[in-house]
């Protein structure tokens, strides 16, 4: 997800590996299995894939990647970043590169909808401080706890 490192940095700074949550002034939030289903369209139950469903495996990989990235000496992050970004854009719309009503409704999974937005260089050039400020200034009404569907 080239161009989104500032948002990624601001989120990783707030990740707490011991609770698998982002600590924000308004409380704790996290990516859940339900989010994986809506965002990536992956099943969260059914046949196991080396001990996990595809959805659970994706979420576990994201949590591990966030854990590694939250360590002081980490400079890169792998994992299902589209899951993290779409989750952030849907749950905290003020972080999104464009308003949701400008997206083409291609149904579920939501990641398909976000993959079609036109890249905006003004958004991807915003510094980490911009996203830090946004996360620090947000109120409880700025977080969407509704289903993503």
Residue 128, C-beta contacts closer than 8 angstroms, at least 6 positions apart: 5, 6, 9, 10
The pLDDT confidence band at residue 149, using thresholds 50, 70 and 90, is low
**Token reading at 120:** 């905006």
Span 50-66, pLDDT tens digits: 557 888 889 999 999 99
Question: Using CA atoms, how far apart are residues 67 and 141, in angstroms rounded to an integer?
Answer: 28
Q: Residue 51 has what pLDDT? A: 55
Contact 83, 5 (CB under 8 A): no
**Token reading at 89:** 């854009």
Q: pTM of the prediction?
A: 0.85
Span 92-116, pLDDT tens digits: 999 988 888 888 777 668 888 887 6
Q: What is the mean pLDDT of residues 130-144?
A: 92
* pLDDT > 80? residue 118: no
**Token reading at 93:** 């719309």
Span 11-44, pLDDT tens digits: 999 999 999 999 999 999 999 999 999 899 887 7
Query: What is the residue-averaged pLDDT of the chain?
Result: 84
**Token reading at 33:** 């299995």
């Amino acid at each position: 997800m080239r161009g989104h490192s500032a948002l990624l940095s601001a989120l990783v700074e707030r990740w707490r590996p011991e609770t698998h949550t982002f600590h924000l002034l308004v409380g704790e939030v996290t990516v859940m299995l339900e989010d994986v289903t809506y965002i990536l369209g992956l099943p969260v139950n059914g046949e196991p894939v080396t001990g996990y469903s595809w959805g659970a495996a994706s979420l576990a990989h994201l949590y591990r990647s966030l854990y590694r990235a939250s360590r002081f000496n980490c400079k890169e992050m792998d994992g299902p970043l589209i899951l993290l970004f779409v989750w952030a854009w849907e749950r905290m719309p003020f972080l999104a590169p464009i308003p949701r009503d400008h997206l083409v409704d291609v149904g579920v999974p939501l990641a398909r909808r976000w993959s079609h937005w036109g890249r905006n260089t003004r958004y991807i050039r915003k510094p980490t401080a911009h996203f830090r400020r946004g996360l620090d200034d947000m109120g409880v009404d700025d977080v969407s706890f509704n289903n993503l569907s």
